[in-house]
Structure 1
Amino acid sequence: MVDDEDSFAGDVRSGMQTDLVVRNEEVVFRGDDAAEFTVIRSQIESDGRTAPVMFAQVRGGQPSVVCVTVRADGRLLLVRHRRIATDSDEWEFPKSMGEDGQIAGDTAEHEVLRETGIRPLSHRTMQMIHAETCKLRDSVAVVEVKVENDRADAAALNDPRLQWLDREEFDAMVRAGNISDGVTLSAYLIWSLRADD
């Protein structure tokens, strides 16, 4: 039989327990690289019961961005990256953990320029999302970044990591399981629903 404390801890971790007070937070690990990957342990209390909860953040919890890069003809940019955490090559929208002192739109433009060499024409922040609400303290700005067709074509010719897709091609890649990055998939859904706003 599960005791009351174990049941309470499970309810806290699952999100089922909602009347919670955070009593303290302590850093139990902080990486020394640019991401500043940090693990935090919180002591949660409700009705006199307590439970520990651990979660992670990067760059001090500052907002990151995902860039839905769009040409005038409506084609979208995917960039292929080697991801060590999943030991896989992934097609993704350009992303950044954020730049100190920059708003999300400026960070998005900087990231598109850095990854592709294409200077954006404009940007529009569409929505904020959380990549994983249970174990990550994060917020991600979904930013639409507009670019010119001719510069996009030139960049793609010079870099096999870049791929421009229309909506049908993008949808086919999703159906085939060739796009598995959750932030990219979420950003595509938001952009698809709000592109004409």
Structure 2
Amino acid sequence: MGWIVRSEQDLYRDKWVHLTSADVELPDGRHLDHRVIRTAAPGAGAVVVDQGRVLLIWRHRFITDTHAWEIPQGSIRPGEDPADGAAREAEEETGWRPEKPLRPLVYAQPSPGIMSSEHHIYRADGATYIGPPKDAFESDKIEWVPLNEIRGLIDKQHVVAGTTLVALLYLLTEGDCNTE
């Protein structure tokens, strides 16, 4: 039983985001005035694993005024293959070039109740350091974090971003990750 969008009205639009007000008819016939956020491009991220460690960035998110560990991720450019976008973002944000081929790890829609954002997350086994990150403003520090510390970081709320949580928890279920 689906919700039916009867109409949408533009509230705001720029090159990154499109905000609308949707008149949604619920299955019981009632109507709901719902906000919808449509993102301009899907995102891609990379979980880079090497020797029982994962490459993470410690960053500040001004909206929530919090610091936490995240995987490198960002928008896929028009015409760009999602795996190539994930590799590019990892390199730009960390200075580490993921080993190819990147393999699909997990696909996520972080908040489908309000936004259209799609995240394609890939896994790389190893990386080569090529120099300081191009986008040094993205993080306060870049570290290889032991996989056996991930659960503790989540418990201490040092990993809170939805896509990073999904990616790391999924990674830990793969069975081939040595967390010793």
TM-score normalised by L of structure 2: 0.81
In terms of fraction of residues, the more helix-rich structure is 1
Is the contact between residue 41 and residue 53 of structure 1 (CA under 8 Å) also seen in structure 2? yes
Distance 1:172 1:26 in 2: 44
Distance 1:58 1:185 in 2: 21
Distance 2:47 2:175 in 1: 10
Q: Whose Rg is larger?
A: 1
Is the contact between residue 47 and residue 71 of structure 2 (CA under 8 Å) also seen in structure 1? yes
Instruction: Tell me how many residue pairs correspond in the alignment.
Output: 170
Q: What is aligned with 2:162? A: 182
Give the 3-state SS of the residue equivalent to 2:79 in structure 1: coil
TM-score normalised by L of structure 1: 0.75
Structure number with greater CO (CA < 8 Å, separation at least 6) is: 2
Q: % of aligned pairs identical?
A: 23
In terms of fraction of residues, the more strand-rich structure is 2
CA drift at 1:24: 2.4
CA deviations 1:50-109 (Å, max 9, x no partner) are 3221121222xx3212321112x1310110122111112221111112222112111000
Give the 3-state SS of the residue equivalent to 1:28 in structure 2: strand
Distance 1:195 1:56 in 2: 36
Give the 3-state SS of the residue equivalent to 2:98 in structure 1: coil
RMSD between aligned residues:
2.6
Q: Note the 1:51-62 alignment, pairs <5 A.
A: 51-59=32-40, 62=41
CA drift at 1:26: 2.8
Q: Mark the CA change 1:23 to 1:70 in structure 2 (over 3 Å): closer, same or farther.
A: same
Q: What is aligned with 1:5? A: none
CA drift at 1:160: 6.3
Distance 2:105 2:77 in 1: 19
Give the 3-state SS of the residue equivalent to 2:97 in structure 1: coil
Q: Mark the CA change 1:146 to 1:155 in structure 2 (over 3 Å): closer, same or farther.
A: farther
Q: What is aligned with 2:122? A: 143
Is the contact between residue 86 and residue 121 of structure 2 (CA under 8 Å) also seen in structure 1? no
Q: Where does structure 2 lack aligned partners over 5 or more consecutive residues?
A: 134-138
Is the contact between residue 43 and residue 119 of structure 2 (CA under 8 Å) also seen in structure 1? yes
Distance 1:31 1:84 in 2: 20
1:63 to 39, 42, 57: 42
Q: What is aligned with 1:15? A: none
Is the contact between residue 126 and residue 142 of structure 1 (CA under 8 Å) also seen in structure 2? yes
Pair 1:28 & 2:6 matched: no
Q: What is aligned with 1:14? A: none
Q: Where does structure 1 lack aligned partners over 5 or more consecutive residues?
A: 1-17
